[in-house]
Chains A and B, each alone.
Chain A
Amino acid sequence: MSLDIWMRENPLTYVWIGSYAVAFLVFAIEIFMVIHKRKITLDQLRMMREADESKEE
């Protein structure tokens, strides 16, 4: 069954999977990346702090 026929027979599924699911997936990936970036940044800062402390000792 071609996509044209399928989308006309299942318009709500087409709308949901095609646009809303993609949009929310994009949001989820963005949130994950931002959280991951913060985790990496904090890890780097902790390492810098530990390096400074060991230098002082």
Chain B
Amino acid sequence: MAINWFKYSAPTTFYPLAGKLIPWFAVSAAILFAAGLYIGFVVAPADATQGEFYRIIFIHVPASIISMFLYLVMAGYAALGLIFNTRLSSMMASAVAPTGALFAFISLWTGALWGKPMWGAWWVWDARMTSELILLFLYLGFIALHASIEDPRRADRAAALLAIVGSVNVPIIYFSVKWWNTLHQGSTIKYSGTSMHIAMQQAMFIMMAACWLYAIAITLMRVRSIILERERNSKWVAQLIEVKS
């Protein structure tokens, strides 16, 4: 049986679907966070050179990767909204932005926490860190620009342009450790293999999945409010049980 995916690109059908999906993503995220923290703090051994401080990577690496990936997701949705003039795509872009900004903040914060004991400094103007900081500013710029324009459709278009242009920063963040001689270390996990202990890898990947599921759940929760706000004059919104009660 073929599924008509275009059906879910309409706010009317996407709203109840998102409502059904949120608990699944949220509960899965909570379980994976608990498992990831258990493996990361109880099962995984201390690092030979960094001692216990390396355990920051279990939140730092997932937050950094997800902050970059969410930006591409946001820019993708914004581009879809700009090209095809689809309302839901622009709403999704607006819903992703705050979560992406928070992950970028967590990445920078935890990086600074790791930097102090390892490098002796909270912050250095290293290519990887500076480009991640620019990513945070791009998120904040997207949110601020969208909020500063009263007409939501015009705000969508203006913010979409910023998101699309800003997406050039994502490959710069990713390849910065290869292109420039940076203080920030390169990738530990490569296609050719890794020297990480298996428990460390498990904890990092489980925490990555947990952060990813959390990001999906919170974005779906936020987009439901955006849909209600922007479709408030529609009949289907007035007919919703939560609006009637």
| B-binding residues in A (CB < 8 A) | 4, 7-8, 11-12, 14-15, 18-20, 22-23, 26-27, 30-31, 34-35, 37-38, 41-42, 44-46, 48-49, 52
- Whether B110 and A11, one on each chain, are in contact in the complex, defined by CB atoms closer than 8 angstroms, is no
- Whether A44 and B232, one on each chain, are in contact in the complex, defined by CB atoms closer than 8 angstroms, is yes
B13-53 CB mask vs A (1 if < 8 Å, else 0) is: 00000000000000000000000010001000000000111
Q: Please tell me which one of the listed residues A12, A23, A42 contacts residue B52 in the complex, with CB atoms under 8 A apart.
A: A12
Q: What is the count of residue pairs linking A and B with beta-carbon distances less than 8 angstroms?
A: 80
- Whether A19 and B56, one on each chain, are in contact in the complex, defined by CB atoms closer than 8 angstroms, is yes
Q: Please tell me which one of the listed residues A8, A12, A20, A26 contacts residue B37 in the complex, with CB atoms under 8 A apart.
A: A20
Knowing A11-B51, A44-B232 touch, does A31 contact B117 (C-beta < 8 A)? Answer: no
In the bound complex, CA of A41 to CA of B243 (Å): 9
Least distance between A10 CB and chain B CB atoms (Å)? 9
B52: A residues at CB distance < 8 A? 11-12, 15
- Whether A34 and B222, one on each chain, are in contact in the complex, defined by CB atoms closer than 8 angstroms, is yes
- Whether A23 and B221, one on each chain, are in contact in the complex, defined by CB atoms closer than 8 angstroms, is no
Q: A11-B117, A45-B243 are in contact. List 13 more A-B contacts (CB 8 A).
A: A12-B52, A15-B52, A15-B55, A15-B113, A19-B60, A19-B114, A22-B106, A23-B59, A23-B106, A26-B106, A34-B218, A42-B243, A45-B228
In the bound complex, CA of A34 to CA of B129 (Å): 29
- Whether A26 and B105, one on each chain, are in contact in the complex, defined by CB atoms closer than 8 angstroms, is yes
In the bound complex, CA of A36 to CA of B167 (Å): 31
Considering the complex, give the chain B residue whose CB is closest to the CB of A53.
Answer: B238
Considering the complex, give the chain B residue whose CB is closest to the CB of A40.
Answer: B225
In the bound complex, CA of A42 to CA of B99 (Å): 22
In the bound complex, CA of A34 to CA of B98 (Å): 10
